[in-house]
Amino acid sequence: MKTTKENLEIIFANMKANKWYPEYDEMLWGYFFIDRDKTKLIKFSILLEKQGYHIVEIWQDDESLYWLSIERVEKHSIDSLLERNIDLEKFAISNEIDCYDGWDVEKILR
């Protein structure tokens, strides 16, 4: 599903109802990319690492697709997360990555 402001508003409302406050608390944000070419994802991951992302892993699924998982500790508002998704999608396109697949978030355990 494409990230829109409307679905982020719903997600953020649900997070707040569960006492998650991504706009105030640092959280671990994960972002995902898909490509048929593992080498291309490796090169792309190096570019992302230079932007401060931690490379979690690259794995292959059952359909011969490779997935890149990255993460970074950040604070996000609805607008900043929407902007991050737009930027990552554009960066993937400019590097000829097949797909920016979206994001997830976890609380940081302290």
43-76 pLDDT, tens digit per residue, is 999 999 999 999 999 999 988 999 999 999 999 9
Give the range of the structural domain holding residue 52, as residue numbers without chain letter: 5-107
pTM (two decimals) = 0.92
The per-residue pLDDT for 104 is 95
Mean pLDDT along residues 24-41: 95
Number of alpha carbons in the 13 Å side-chain half-sphere of residue 94: 8
The per-residue pLDDT for 25 is 86
Instruction: Answer yes or no: is pLDDT of 1 > 70.
Output: no
The number of folded domains in the chain is 1
The per-residue pLDDT for 11 is 93
Burial 30-57 (b: 16+ CB within 10 A, else e): bbbbbbeebebbeebbeebeeeebeeee
CATH number at residue 19: 3.30.70.970
